[in-house]
Amino acid sequence: MKLLAGNSNRPLAEAIAGYLNLTLTKGIVRRFADMEVFVEILENVRGEDVFIVQSTSFPANDNLMELLICIDALSRASARRITAVIPYFGYARQDRKPGPRTPISAKLVANLITTAGTDRVLTLDLHAGQIQGFFDIPTDNLYSAPVFERDIRENLNGEVPMVVSPDVGGVVRARLLARRLNADLAIVDKRRERPGESEVMNIIGNVDGRVCLLVDDIVDSGGTLCNAAQALMDKGAKAVSAYVTHGVLSGGAVARIAGSVLKELVITDSIQPTLAVQGATNIRVLPIAPLIGEAMRRIAKEESVSSLFD
């Protein structure tokens, strides 16, 4: 078993290597003067079961290209099996045609990864479960739910929380965590009643006096979370925290979260936290390496991955 790290999240790759008692396979990613990517694997990988860890996070196109070129290099170096470990699968939000003459970029990216020579994919909390079907190779989609469940239980202080989906599209994900915690579920239903009028937030469920935990896959601008948290507080919630797998946190998101009514935002390190995230007082990062490392160990040993979530 060999483990190669792309440049998008080296600390995560190193933590996974630590979990698996491996040293990272030596390789270099260089740039030509015009920024073309050049990859060189500096160890023999012939006949090996190779895992390449790369989140296709910001800068998404560069990180995606680096992943594709690493896979091509491994394939041409006769690796026996290549598993693309993509903790954060960028482009996942473009998983359907929102209007005429628009792309389905998630499918295009799945095709690119497959065509480059990937044998299997390991990813985490895909934006929509059906993206798994965009790949015609085995694809394991892990859930951060057990990691979140453990943290929530440790920080409950006797409260019975209410798990809340910040939009109708996230209900399945929120229900999964609510079930594990044996907690109630509420839903924020955003609606624009008439064009040009501002969005109305309806809360399905009684959150009065409750400690609410918003659950989502991605926090990008932070708008969805901050607005949902405000709507919950307006309906009498006692406190609102959020558990989100992928901290994309673009632009002024960290400042927006800091200035919001959110007590705390908990994310994983599927995307390497920026200095702003590390310095934020109400953002906490949970390590995801043990979950990904264990799944990789099971894949290498041909053991069950789904039983990780029983």
Which 86-105 residues touch ligand R5P, going by CB under 6 A?
93
Among 221, 230, 274, 282, binds ligand R5P (CB under 6 A): 221
Site for ligand R5P in 9-68 (CB under 6 A): none
Of the listed pieces 63-71, 138-146, 162-170, 281-289, which binds ligand R5P according to CB under 6 A? 162-170
Q: Which among 190, 235, 238, 263 is annotated as catalytic? A: 190
Nearer to ligand R5P, 66 or 125 (CB): 125
> How far apart are alpha carbons 294 and 104 in whole angstroms?
32
- Cβ-based nearer residue to ligand R5P, 149 or 167: 167
Query: Binding ligand R5P by CB under 6 A: which of 6, 87, 161, 170?
Result: 170
Instruction: Please select the residue that binds ligand R5P; options are 178, 214, 219, 267, rule is CB under 6 A.
Output: 219
The least CB distance from residue 242 to ligand R5P, in Å, is 10
Closer residue to ligand R5P, CB minimum distance, 45 or 147: 147
Tell me if 220 contacts ligand R5P by CB under 6 A: yes
223 in contact with ligand R5P (CB under 6 A): yes
Any contact of residue 247 with ligand R5P (CB under 6 A)? Answer: no
Cβ proximity to ligand R5P, 88 vs 135, nearer residue? 88
Whether 190 sits among the annotated catalytic residues: the reply is yes
Whether residue 17 contacts residue 294, with contact meaning beta carbons closer than 8 Å, is answered with: no
- Give the binding range for ligand R5P (CB under 6 A) out of 7-15, 130-138, 139-147, 213-221: 213-221
Contacting positions for ligand R5P (CB under 6 A): 93, 166-167, 169-170, 216-224
